[in-house]
Amino acid sequence: MLDSIALILADLELRCTLPQEEETMLARTTLAALSLTAVMIQPHAANAAPYWPWCSESYSRTTTRACAFSSWEQCMDTVRGGAGGHCYTNPYPPPPAPAARSAKPRHHAARN
């Protein structure tokens, strides 16, 4: 991130003295660095949204469904406080657990 800021500042300082071709190349390099930074800070699968095992269905003018509860009690407290409804287990399966990575590097057996 600091590298990107440094590139932007360098671009601003050199903008007045660079020929058009060099200015274009520096702008493209700055854009590439910022794009790479944005890709690197994207959330990973390990940071994905949690799985909520309980869902509610509430009634008012429309039916509202929400799977955002960690316990049946939490769901019921929400349903009781509103226009009424019920709780049920999340019909969707939880996401698969991430594959465990081995700490040992894998090497192929040497051929004789």
Give the mean model confidence (pLDDT) for residues 87-106: 78
* Domain membership flag for residue 99: no
Give the mean model confidence (pLDDT) for residues 64-68: 91
Give residue 73's identity as a one-letter amino acid code.
Answer: E
Residue bearing the bigger pLDDT, 46 or 21: 21
* Domain membership flag for residue 28: yes
Query: How far, CA to CA in Å, does 85 sit from each of 52, 58, 61, 90?
Result: 18, 4, 12, 15
Task: Using pLDDT thresholds of 50, 70 and 90, give the confidence band for residue 94.
Answer: confident
Task: Look up the domain containing 78 and give its range.
Answer: 54-89
Give the mean model confidence (pLDDT) for residues 16-39: 71
Q: Which distant-in-sequence residues (6+ apart) come within 8 Å of 53 by Cβ?
A: 69, 70, 89, 90, 94
User: 95 and 89 in contact (C-beta within 8 Å)?
Assistant: no
* Domain membership flag for residue 101: no
Burial class (CB in 10 A: 0-12, 13-18, 19+), 107: exposed
* Domain membership flag for residue 47: no
* Domain membership flag for residue 103: no
What is the number of structural domains in the chain? 2
- For residue 34, give both structure tokens: 């910022």
Report percent pLDDT > 90 for the chain.
21
* pLDDT at residue number 95: 83
Residue bearing the bigger pLDDT, 85 or 14: 85
* Domain membership flag for residue 45: no
Instruction: Determine how many CB atoms are found less than 10 A away from the CB of residue 6.
Output: 11
Shared domain for 36 and 66, answered yes or no, is no
Shared domain for 34 and 58, answered yes or no, is no
